[in-house]
């Protein structure tokens, strides 16, 4: 049986591998419009010898032993716990905010008193959302929360999503907690890892199979048309007889029939400086900067013993279909309704299967994307 997989990100690649491992007669053609495999996880060694992540820093983190075992089939991994700082009023402080943040912005006496108040009001809790802190009955805690909210959460989130502070959805503000300890690490998951030789090598192994053929620099939608009367896909004018697993955006596949789905896009500006280090942490967020959100310094990730330092500056931008990349789906009741119209239409198309962060119109971490793909395989293939 022959299959087409559109998109060589983690979703399409896991499915392609499953199909060829399952049956030696299965053949898979992967079509990828970018010049490389790996989707948003793609990394490479730049001209200065530093491994950088082209689409923003990717730390693999999961609590799932099954996913951990799965990724270990295709690469060696090393432990790596991501950590980050924020610059507030020209001062570097840990992000997620923790007890060090209190020390950074309060006198010794006030800092000790605030920490005691927190321990009293949130006994045995390791962290809490900014929303819960803002609602605290204790005025010292509320004052601290308001400081963090005004100097970071509000500014960062409205810049990241391009919306006024008042319109920010509470769920977005809940994503980065405030920690009640000196723990500086970003994620709490059991497994926090990076591929020893890069995601590039991991993907090469994942897709290394005689029955997988990869075509890059090819937009599949240039060759396919959908006949909405018969619900058939036409490949180069003829009814397609193969199964198609599509991991791109549904609005693009379905001719933007109901309008375009809203996303936030990003622009990465790359720099190299012949200095030892640019900043005190691998990732530093700048809530008070006018137009960029963060700087990522890849030399501070493991195994980068080179001269100089490469870093990217991240600018959130408006998404314009067909001219830049859709990164983060903007989830509102209207956009979900719009997506459901596309989903219902896509379900009617013969031989079409769709999933992944774009086709599902959902933000997935890498482990969630793998879980979704494996579950999908066990259900359909
Ligand atoms: P993608 O990786 O986007 O792959 C889809 C592919 O389909 C793309 O390569 C695209 O070019 C291709 N495609 C689309 N349409 C067509 C077409 N018509 N023809 C041909 N090809 C097509 N997750 C974590 O777990 N940890 C992190 O630290 C982390 N950091 C992130 C940082 C950023 C800035 C972003 C944006 C995401 C981050 N993620 C992180 C999430 C991670 O990137 C996703 O979970 C993962 O990439 C999802 O894989 P996917 O295959 O579903 O989608």
Average confidence (pLDDT) per 10 residues, the chain, 381 residues:
96 98 97 98 97 98 98 98 98 98 98 98 96 96 97 94 80 89 96 98 98 98 94 93 96 97 97 97 97 98 94 97 94 94 98 98 97 97 93
Where does residue 134 rank: exposed (0-12), middle (13-18), buried (19+ CB within 10 A)?
Answer: middle
Closest CA to 150 of 88, 192, 94: 88
Closest CA to 115 of 101, 129, 130: 101
Residues 119 and 150 in one domain: yes
- What pLDDT does 166 receive? 76
Q: Hunting for tokens 């970071």 — which residue is that? A: 152
Residues 168 and 220 in one domain: no
**Given the CA of residue 360, which atom of ligand 1 is nearest to it?**
52
Dihedrals phi, psi of 60, to nearest 5 degrees? -80, 120
- What pLDDT does 137 receive? 97
Residues 97 and 56 in one domain: no
Residues 56 and 161 in one domain: no
Q: Are 267 and 291 in contact (CB under 8 A)?
A: no
Residues 206 and 219 in one domain: yes
Residues 76 and 88 in one domain: no
Residues 341 and 213 in one domain: yes
Query: Ligand 1 pocket by C-beta < 6 Å: which residues?
Result: 6-12, 31-34, 39-41, 55-60, 219-221, 247-248, 327, 356-358, 364-367, 369
- What pLDDT does 238 receive? 93
pTM of the model: 0.96
Does some domain include residue 93? Answer: yes
**Given the CA of residue 40, which atom of ligand 1 is nearest to it?**
2
- What pLDDT does 167 receive? 77
- What pLDDT does 347 receive? 98
Q: CATH number, domain at 26?
A: 3.40.50.720
For residue 373, how far is its CA from the centre of ligand 1 (angstroms)?
Answer: 13
Residues 94 and 281: their CA atoms lie apart, in Å, by 9
Does some domain include residue 315? Answer: no
What six digits make up the tokens of 271?
A: 């720099």
Residues 40 and 134 in one domain: no
Rounded (to 5) percent helix, strand, coil in the chain = 35, 25, 40
Does some domain include residue 349? Answer: yes
What six digits make up the tokens of 185?
A: 């690490």
- What pLDDT does 204 receive? 98
Q: Which domain holds residue 113?
A: 84-179
In sequence order, which residues have a C-beta less than 8 Å from that of residue 137 and are 6 or more positions away? 121
How many domains is the chain built from?
2
Dihedrals phi, psi of 217, to nearest 5 degrees? 60, 30
What is the chain's length? 381
**Given the CA of residue 328, which atom of ligand 1 is nearest to it?**
36
Number of H helices, E strands in the chain: 12, 22
């Amino acid at each position: 049986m022959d299959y087409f997989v559109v998109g060589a990100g983690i979703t399409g690649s896991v499915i392609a591998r499953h199909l060829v491992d399952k049956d030696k007669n299965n053949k898979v053609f992967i079509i990828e419009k970018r010049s490389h495999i790996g989707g948003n996880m793609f990394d490479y060694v730049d001209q200065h010898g530093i491994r950088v992540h082209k689409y923003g820093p990717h730390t693999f983190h999961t609590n799932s032993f099954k996913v951990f075992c799965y990724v270990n089939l295709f690469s060696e991994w090393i432990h790596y716990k991501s950590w980050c700082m924020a610059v507030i009023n020209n001062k570097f402080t840990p992000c997620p905010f923790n007890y060090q943040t209190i020390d950074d912005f309060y006198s010794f006496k006030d800092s000790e008193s605030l920490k005691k108040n927190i321990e009293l009001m949130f006994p045995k809790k390791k962290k809490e959302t900014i929303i819960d802190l803002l609602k605290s009955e204790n005025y010292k805690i509320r004052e601290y929360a308001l400081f963090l909210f005004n100097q970071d959460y509000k500014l960062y989130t409205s810049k990241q999503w391009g919306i006024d502070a008042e319109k920010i959805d509470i769920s977005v503000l809940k994503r980065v907690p405030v920690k009640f300890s000196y723990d500086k690490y970003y994620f709490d998951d059991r497994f926090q890892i990076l591929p020893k030789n890069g995601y590039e090598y991991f993907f090469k192994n994942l897709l290394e199979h005689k029955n997988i053929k990869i075509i890059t620099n090819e937009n599949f939608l240039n060759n396919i048309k959908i006949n909405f009367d018969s619900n058939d896909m036409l490949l180069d004018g003829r009814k397609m007889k193969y199964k198609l697993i599509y991991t791109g955006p549904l609005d693009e596949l379905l001719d933007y029939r109901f309008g375009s789905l809203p996303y936030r896009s990003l622009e990465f500006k790359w720099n190299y400086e012949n200095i030892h280090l640019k900043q005190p942490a691998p990732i530093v967020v700048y809530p008070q900067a006018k137009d960029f959100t963060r700087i990522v310094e890849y030399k501070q990730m493991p195994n980068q013993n080179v001269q100089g330092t490469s870093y990217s500056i991240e600018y959130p931008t408006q998404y314009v279909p067909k001219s830049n990349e859709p990164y983060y789906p903007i989830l509102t009741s209207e956009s979900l309704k719009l997506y459901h119209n596309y989903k219902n239409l896509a379900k009617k198309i013969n031989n079409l299967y769709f999933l992944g962060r774009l086709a599902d119109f959902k933000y997935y971490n890498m482990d969630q994307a793998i879980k979704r793909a494996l579950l999908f395989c066990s259900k359909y293939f």
